């Protein structure tokens, strides 16, 4: 196995700078998540301790070495030398800078959440950006906020709104809503489910239980948003027109990753069969999209031009399926694999993973709380031997 197969971070120059930056960016977010102060203070403390250590032990360099010193299996100095082979000065510099940037962004985002996270009655002007989600006693929509109590401070943030069953909105409606805001409950016990943190990880600030509403106007959408929604609705209509209710639920889950339509009994059957992961739209689905595009268009467009159609199809599919962290990761890695063919460059799996992780964390730093899902999805990419040709995009 050649040296290129290893995730080499060290050396005089950084071989994989994206990997180093992603590591540093993750460190800054994790520090902000568990320690509520700037990581800059940690680096100042480390620098201070390093200078103290260097000053105190400087005089020992003049003392003769102990020739009869016994071998120590757990010598700290020996293992520090091994670490220095990887943590060179450029690597340390990039990690420090990227971690400070991400930590600063995370602290700002946390303060932004804290300012809104007060359960009270509010008045919101917003745009409906999702189709109806039917729940047991109410309907739920996702909205993009324009004003909260006539303030634009939280413009473009997203919240859920819950309305009575008889109330229905359309995608793109501009509405004025009044009700009680709820920020989601935190974990009551150590290790318990933290609903508030879960909402943050999907870029939702909270839930508004609507008491009063007014539809101001409709079709407040860009051409691209309207087109994406029309495609999604058309796919749903085709599925509903061709299949019975239970089959519709399964196909919508498999094709679009829409598990909200699945009944509890059906979800339980998937879990018992240990195949519930197929309902999480990820690399497997992206591979099928790429395969389908090549089968349909390769003869007409040729081997190279069809790659551009693949990229557009992957972007469209990511948008239609809701752009969750798992599908974004799979989409980015798929596009990078296709681009490596277009520009005649060898694909690097470590750079692909790091680049996709970095983009996801930049978009929403709280997604790091769901990284175990991402790690499982990365691992699963080794277990879809559809063909050598397509498997190499994700391996």
Alpha-carbon distance of 14 to 22, in angstroms, equals: 13
Q: What is the per-residue pLDDT for 72?
A: 58
- Whether the CB-CB separation of 141 and 187 falls below 8 Å is answered with no
What's the rounded mean pLDDT across residues 144-151?
88
Q: What is the per-residue pLDDT for 102?
A: 94
Least confident range from 38-42, 169-173, 249-253, 307-311: namely: 249-253
Beta strand segments in the chain, E: 121-128, 133-134, 138-148, 158-164, 174-182, 204-217
The more confident residue out of 288 and 276 is 288
Q: What is the per-residue pLDDT for 42?
A: 92
Alpha-carbon distance of 85 to 281, in angstroms, equals: 39
Q: Residue 130 corresponds to which tokens in the numbers above?
A: 């999702």
Alpha-carbon distance of 236 to 256, in angstroms, equals: 9
Least confident range from 5-14, 92-101, 313-322: namely: 5-14
H-only helix segments in 141-282? 195-201, 223-242, 245-256, 264-272
Q: pLDDT tens across 339-372, in order? A: 888 887 777 888 888 888 898 899 889 988 875 4
Alpha-carbon distance of 363 to 173, in angstroms, equals: 25
Per DSSP, what are the bridge partners of residue 145?
126
Computed over every residue of the chain, the mean pLDDT equals 78
Q: pLDDT tens across 15-55, in order? A: 788 899 999 999 999 999 888 889 999 999 988 888 887 77
What's the rounded mean pLDDT across residues 147-172?
88
Q: Please report which confidence band the pLDDT of residue 194 belongs to, taking 50, 70 and 90 as the band edges.
A: confident
* This prediction's pTM: 0.76
Report CA-CA distances (Å) from 145 to 142, 178, 217, 242, 332: 10, 13, 15, 37, 28
Q: Please report which confidence band the pLDDT of residue 388 belongs to, taking 50, 70 and 90 as the band edges.
A: very low
What's the rounded mean pLDDT across residues 133-159?
87
Alpha-carbon distance of 364 to 362, in angstroms, equals: 6
What's the rounded mean pLDDT across residues 312-321?
85
**pLDDT at residue 65 is higher than 70:** no
Q: What is the per-residue pLDDT for 25?
A: 94
Q: Please report which confidence band the pLDDT of residue 174 belongs to, taking 50, 70 and 90 as the band edges.
A: very high
The more confident residue out of 150 and 189 is 150
Q: What is the per-residue pLDDT for 384?
A: 38
Strands 204-217, 158-164: parallel, antiparallel or unpaired by DSSP? Answer: parallel
What's the rounded mean pLDDT across residues 279-305?
80
Alpha-carbon distance of 356 to 265, in angstroms, equals: 35
């Amino acid at each position: 196995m050649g040296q290129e197969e290893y995730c080499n971070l060290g050396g005089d120059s950084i071989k994989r700078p994206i990997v180093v930056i992603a590591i540093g960016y993750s460190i800054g977010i994790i520090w902000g998540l568990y320690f509520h102060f700037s990581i800059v203070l940690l680096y100042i403390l480390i620098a201070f301790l390093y200078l103290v250590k260097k000053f105190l032990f400087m005089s020992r360099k003049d003392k003769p070495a102990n020739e009869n010193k016994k071998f120590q299996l757990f010598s700290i100095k020996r293992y520090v030398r091994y670490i220095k082979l990887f943590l060179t000065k450029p690597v340390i510099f990039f990690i420090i800078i990227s971690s400070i940037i991400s930590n600063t962004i995370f602290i700002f985002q946390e303060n932004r959440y804290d300012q809104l996270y007060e359960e009270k009655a509010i008045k919101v002007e917003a745009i409906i950006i999702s189709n109806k989600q039917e729940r047991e006693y109410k309907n739920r929509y996702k909205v993009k906020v324009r004003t909260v109590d006539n303030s634009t401070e939280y413009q473009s943030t997203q919240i859920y709104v819950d309305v009575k069953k008889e109330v229905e909105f359309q995608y793109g409606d501009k509405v004025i809503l009044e009700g009680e805001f709820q920020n989601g409950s935190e974990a009551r016990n150590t290790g318990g489910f933290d609903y508030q943190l879960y909402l943050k990880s999907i870029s939702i600030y909270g839930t508004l239980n609507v008491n009063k509403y007014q539809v101001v106007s409709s079709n407040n959408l860009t051409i691209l948003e309207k087109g994406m929604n029309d495609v999604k609705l058309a796919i749903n209509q085709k599925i509903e027109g061709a299949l019975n209710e239970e089959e519709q639920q399964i196909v919508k889950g498999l094709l679009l990753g829409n598990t909200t339509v699945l009944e509890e009994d059906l979800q339980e059957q998937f879990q018992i069969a240990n195949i519930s992961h197929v309902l999480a739209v990820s690399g497997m689905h992206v591979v099928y999209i790429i395969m389908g595009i090549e089968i349909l268009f390769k003869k007409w467009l040729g081997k190279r031009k069809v790659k551009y159609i693949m990229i557009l199809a992957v972007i469209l599919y990511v948008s239609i399926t809701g752009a969750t962290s798992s599908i974004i990761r799979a989409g980015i890695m798929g596009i990078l694999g296709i681009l490596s063919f277009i520009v005649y460059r060898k694909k690097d799996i470590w750079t692909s993973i790091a680049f996709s992780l970095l983009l996801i964390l930049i978009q929403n730093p709280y997604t790091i709380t769901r990284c175990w899902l991402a790690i499982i999805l990365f691992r699963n990419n080794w277990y879809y031997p559809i063909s050598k040709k397509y498997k190499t995009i994700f391996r």
